[in-house]
Amino acid sequence: MAAPDIGDIAPDFSLPRDGGGTLSLSALRGKPVILYFYPKDDTSGCTQEAIEFSGLKGDFDRIGATVIGMSPDSVKKHDKFKAKHDLNVELAADEEKGVLQAYGVWVEKSMYGRKYMGVERTTFLIGPDGRIIRVWRKVKVPGHAAEVLEAAKAL
């Protein structure tokens, strides 16, 4: 399956979320959505990324944008991660990896010559009409949340 790209309708999803309940992309139609995929709760890069997005949540709220982080971690792990780092962004749990695959971010990776499947750190900016406006692949965390905010402000 080809990864969705700029101009495509973002694949819909309905997944369990931190704190209980579900997160559905279609329920957010009409406002911008920042959907960022990250490998694992409570690891250094993922923690920094979540803290940066949380620190800018008020700015995202002012422009009417919703920020969702997604990983293959469980809701229980998401809840612990949020509490430990005082995070305020929404976290979706894709334990079956169906959404990760639909967005083309569940990929073969390599570390020290060992190949394995994992999440490629990627962010999608989705417009109010549900179309993908911008994609950041192989994200470098420092300053990324601020860059995404600037792109979202331009909508």
DSSP 8-state assignment for residue 89: S
Q: Which residue is associated with the tokens 């800018």? A: 56
Q: Which of 23, 28, 35, 46 is catalytic?
A: 46
- The structure tokens listed for 103 are 């967005």
Residue 91 pairs in a beta bridge with 69
> 52 Cβ partners below 8 Å, 6+ apart?
141, 143, 144, 145, 146
Active site residue 46: yes
DSSP, residue by residue, 18-82:
TTSSEEESGGGTTS-EEEEE-S-TTSHHHHHHHHHHHHTHHHHHHTT-EEEEEESS-HHHHHHHH
Cite the active site residues: 46
